[in-house]
Amino acid sequence: MEEYKELPRGLSELVFASLIGTGEMTFSSNGLQTMFYFESEKKKILKRYVYKYKLNEYVKINEKRNQCFIYIPSTYNPIYFRWYDENDRKKVNHKDINLYIVLLSFLLFGYKKLGYVEMRSTVNPYYSKSTAYYLEKLIGTYIDTSQYGFKIFESEKLFVLATQYFSIEEMNEFMSFMNKREKSKIADYLKRYEQRYFKREVDVL
């Protein structure tokens, strides 16, 4: 199958994160279109992301209907066949994703539940088990399937990993995934991190 060149920085991550989530890709007259719905509390995160990577040419947000549309030129049409099988069932192309993309997907499609965080996803059930296994390998903790997508029980693990990639505003969303006990564990982790960092700085001086 024909290979495609890489999408612009920021666009590929958003496309693949949305496909892990509830985004659905279809062919349009000019190429590919990916559409997903988002909850109102995710709107600022999404708009900030589009602004950061200057994606206005590719991404259109319908704020009244909480819809996001991502438009990709026909040059990238082969992407569809890497994420959908011959029966048009959506799967996850493991070669296209990394830890950052998975975390971005949790950021956009994740919701706090009692005892776990659920990421809503429309990956076909036929591929859900293998996808959960691969997400688990990237994150480093158990990921299970759910009726509406995937769930992770160690939300503090998401927070710690996300500190490598996301701003304070986005980290607040990851913080909202945690209960009081988990937030206490994170506070202890950050305190130990600050102490190690301060000691390292003193040793250098």
Per-residue pLDDT tens over the stretch 128-169? 999 999 999 999 999 999 999 999 998 888 988 998 999 888
CB 205 within 8 Å of CB 198:
no
Instruction: Check whether 94 has a pLDDT greater than 60.
Output: yes
Instruction: Check whether 201 has a pLDDT greater than 50.
Output: no
CB 100 within 8 Å of CB 165:
yes
pTM: 0.87
Orientation angle between helical segments 180-204 and 155-162, nearest 10 degrees: 30
In the beta sheet, which residues pair with residue 73? Answer: 31
Question: Tokens representing 64?
Answer: 């009244």
Split at pLDDT 50, 70, 90, the class of 5 is low
SS3 8: coil
Which of 113, 162, 173, 120 has its CA nearest to residue 145? Answer: 120
